[in-house]
Amino acid sequence: MADKTPKKSATAAKKPAAKKTTKPPKAMPKPKPGEVVLLSGGNPQIAKGYGDAPVQAYIAAMPEWKSEVGRRLDSLIESAVPNVSKAVKWNSPFYGLEDNGWFLSFHCFTKYIKVAFFRGASLKPVPPGTSKQKDVRYLDIYEHDELDETQFADWVKQASKLPGEKM
């Protein structure tokens, strides 16, 4: 009896691993020339670029009512800060001053546009939306909101005089 080796039960024997037959992920359809892809929330996917042209491409691609609001925001920003610099970075338009950095950006979400003031905590009055970043404040604009253009232009002027973000 001492020579007997223990036998493994049939259930404990290793079974060969089943072959995975997963399908490769579906590739995103490539946009046709001149066509803009809308990312989650309807945010336009616009190539990074500097100047007015990429910002205008972004605004034109904003879905539904958001495009009209985007044009109005752009116009108010240009009026408040005539020498404003523009760019599209991370699929969002940015506004700033050449030697001072970026002071504002906006981004499309499903139901609203989020305007970010990078030094918004220093604005008077402070824009209503808080952030995890202590200096950033937001203004969310929904479809049926009435934008207080005077207040917005004042915030833009104030923001343009503060140190901007280098991005």
What would the DSSP string read from start to end of the chain? -TTPPPPPPTTTSPPPPPPP-PPPPPPPPPPPTT--EE-GGG-EE---EESHHHHHHHHHHS-TTHHHHHHHHHHHHHHH-TT-EEEEETTEEEEEETTTEEEEEEEE-SSEEEEEETTGGGSSSPPSB--SSTT-EEEEEETT----HHHHHHHHHHHHTS--B--
What are 20-59's pLDDT values in tens digits?
556 555 554 455 555 666 676 777 888 899 999 999 999 9
pLDDT of residue 10: 54
- For 4-11, what is the mean pLDDT? 56
pLDDT at 9 over 60: no
What pTM did the predictor assign? 0.77
Q: Does domain 38-160 have CATH number 3.30.420.40?
A: no
